[in-house]
A and B are shown apart, each in its own frame.
Chain A
Amino acid sequence: MQITICPEVFDPWQALQAYQQSAQDMSGKFGATSIFIGTMRDFNEGDDVKGMTLEHYPGMTEKQLEKIVAKAFQHWPVIDALVMHRVGDILPNEPIVLVAVWTAHRAAAFDASRYIMEALKSRAPFWKKELLKSEAERWLVKNTGGY
């Protein structure tokens, strides 16, 4: 299991490949991998958005993400999981979050990755501040519902 806070832009596909290749202990064991990638849009709530700053609470963010992933391991037969999340200044088209879960069968992969993502959205201390095309700035007030 790996949780990484990324202050710089990251390539989720490259990260996934490198992680899976390095995780020798799951070789031959997994039959399903569920992957969620969240990417920055250039629009939100009817406005054009040209950038975003993601603030976090160093230490608490990692602690809460570890708890969330540990709970997924308790509830589903998860073989491995990788969570990566950007912080700092972000531009449209850059990845914000990657959640990947490896399991033997697809049901647990879908369910556990969905759980991790939804719990991250509601429990991990990150905050987005948008920079609009109009140069106005605004903090996002709350995340939209995932279901």
Chain B
Amino acid sequence: MSIKVRYFAGLKESIGRSEDRLDCVDLATVGDVWRCANPNKALPNNCLAAVNMDYVDLNSAVKDGDEVAFFPPVTGG
């Protein structure tokens, strides 16, 4: 299983990376993806998640090839 993980804005700055690639991993949910990529850091409470560019919650399932993103609340407009 291979998952691309992306981070944006303040979250990207706080963890110091814009993306990770998780290969050869067995992950069930979006929350698992975060924990695998960031084992020593809890996802900030207000952060949002997306799979393949659609909003999801942390219990949503992931599959091979997915792009999972984590980011703070949006502030456009």
State the main secondary structure of chain A at its contact with B.
mixed
Q: Is there an interface contact between B9 and A124, defined as CB atoms closer than 8 Å?
A: no
Q: Is there an interface contact between A127 and B76, defined as CB atoms closer than 8 Å?
A: yes
Shortest Cβ gap from B64 to chain A (Å)? 19
Residue on B nearest A99 in the bound complex, by CB: B77
Whether B65 sits at the interface, judged by CB under 8 Å, is no
Interface size class on chain B is 10 to 19
Instruction: List the B side residues contacting A38 at CB < 8 Å.
Output: 77
Q: Is there an interface contact between B69 and A127, defined as CB atoms closer than 8 Å?
A: no
Partner of A56, one of B54, B55, B72, B76: B76
Instruction: List the A side residues contacting B73 at CB < 8 Å.
Output: 141-143
Q: Is there an interface contact between B69 and A57, defined as CB atoms closer than 8 Å?
A: yes
Shortest Cβ gap from A84 to chain B (Å)? 12
Contact with B along A107-139 (1 / 0, CB 8 A): 000000000010011111111110000000001
Shortest Cβ gap from B12 to chain A (Å)? 8
Whether A15 sits at the interface, judged by CB under 8 Å, is no
Interface size class on chain A is 20 to 34
Q: Is there an interface contact between B53 and A55, defined as CB atoms closer than 8 Å?
A: no
Contact with B along A46-57 (1 / 0, CB 8 A): 000000001111
Q: Which A31-67 residues have a C-beta within 8 angstroms of B?
A: 38, 54-57, 59-60, 63-64
Whether A97 sits at the interface, judged by CB under 8 Å, is yes
Whether A96 sits at the interface, judged by CB under 8 Å, is yes
Whether B50 sits at the interface, judged by CB under 8 Å, is yes
Whether A140 sits at the interface, judged by CB under 8 Å, is yes
A123 to B54, CA, bound (A): 10
B→A interface (CB under 8 Å): 6, 8-10, 13, 50, 53-55, 69, 71-77
A→B interface (CB under 8 Å): 38, 54-57, 59-60, 63-64, 85, 96-97, 117, 120-129, 139-143
Among all A-B residue pairs, the 4 with the closest Cβ atoms: A126-B76, A127-B9, A60-B53, A140-B75
